[in-house]
Amino acid sequence: MSKNDEEVPVGRIPGISYFLSLPAEIFLSLAKTRNFSATAAQFGLSQSSVSRRITELEEEIGAALINRTHRPIALTEEGRLLEEGLRGRAQGLPELVHQIRGISRRKPALRLGVVDSLCSTLGVELIRRLSAETSSITCLTGTNDRLLEKGVSGQIDLLIASEALSQAVDIHRNVLFEEPSVLVMSKKMASELDWRQPNWTALRFCGRPYMRYYRETGGGKLSTEYLTSHGIELVGSLQADTSTILFPLIAGDAGWTIARPTALLKNRWILPELAVLPMPTPTMLREVFVLSRKSFPLLLHERVFSLSRDIFTQTLEPQLKTLVPWFRDCFEEVDLRWK
């Protein structure tokens, strides 16, 4: 029988097998059963395979371990010494494995939802930092409306999103950060217009359509409420629920949009083809929240919030200040308000 055709043992000792070699396990079994057939049945091997494994162990140690001429088989003096040593080593292993499993079970499982614009930045780093503190993590991403639906249906425990759920009373809620909205357009469009004093009239007659975020998304609701409250009418027939669709179209000079800087960070590969400019005042701001039900462990909610704040201030905020330098003071004012 070739090595590729060797029998696969099936009867290894649960919770201990990873600490002992297979020949050592077979030897301990044989020392107990004193019968090749019984040991072979325990491991799902043939008698010849068991005999070969014992021979390999004897050759490795350099001593005979089994007296094969005795019936039932007996251990040699060297064999008895090895058995005592192996059993002493293995005796405490089940309890050790039980303790390890108990620690793992005490770590919480986390079902996390991260809004689309933050999934590849804050979401990825948050998972890295939480992995050692949780027994498992399930992370779902998508638009605000879809994640909220999953939260309501119980598929998500904790949500990082741009809707406060202010009417809900049974919610843990923290403001994670606030960011200004910006105009995103092609470099060609930006070069054709005078942006020393951005205004909505120039945007309405720029010769390109306004590309909207889908009305049910967080970005769509935010923009619609802002434009409606300020009596601003913009022409455009395209709606999309993700910047991954909008930005390549805009880079090709098919239109323009109002977006958030975090969405630009998510799509940084296309930034060289886009112009990012301040929107006409008053600036539209977006808040991002960490949300969970009151039934969710408060300590874990606070831990996720704390880690998320650290990731934002250490990683995202410096990049956002570089991307939208005219809002540097805005970020600093927000930091002071949160401290």
Residue recorded with tokens 């070069």: 191
For 180-285, which CATH superfamily applies? Answer: Periplasmic binding protein-like II (3.40.190.10)
Second CATH level (architecture) for the domain 107-179+287-338: 3-Layer(aba) Sandwich (3.40)
Q: How many CB atoms lie within 10 A of CB 189?
A: 20
Torsion of CA 17, 21, 24, 29, to 10 degrees: 30
Domain ranges in the chain are: 3-100, 107-179+287-338, 180-285
* pLDDT for residue 261 is more than 90: yes
- Res 135: pLDDT: 83
* pLDDT for residue 6 is more than 80: no
Residue recorded with tokens 């005979």: 64
108 contacts: CB under 8 Å, gap ≥ 6: 134, 135, 297, 300
**Calpha distance 129→131 (Å, rounded):** 6
Residue recorded with tokens 């462990």: 297
Identical fold, 3-100 and 180-285? no
pTM of the model: 0.68
In this structure, whether the domain defined by 3-100 belongs to CATH 1.10.10.10 is answered with yes
Helices (H), the chain: 22-33, 36-43, 47-61, 77-91, 93-106, 124-130, 144-152, 187-192, 200-204, 218-229, 243-251, 261-266, 298-311, 317-323, 328-338
CA-nearest of 176, 191, 179, 181 to 213 is 181
Cis omega (within 30 of 0) on the bond before 14?
Answer: no
* pLDDT for residue 93 is more than 50: yes
- Res 189: pLDDT: 93
- Res 22: pLDDT: 82
- Res 101: pLDDT: 61
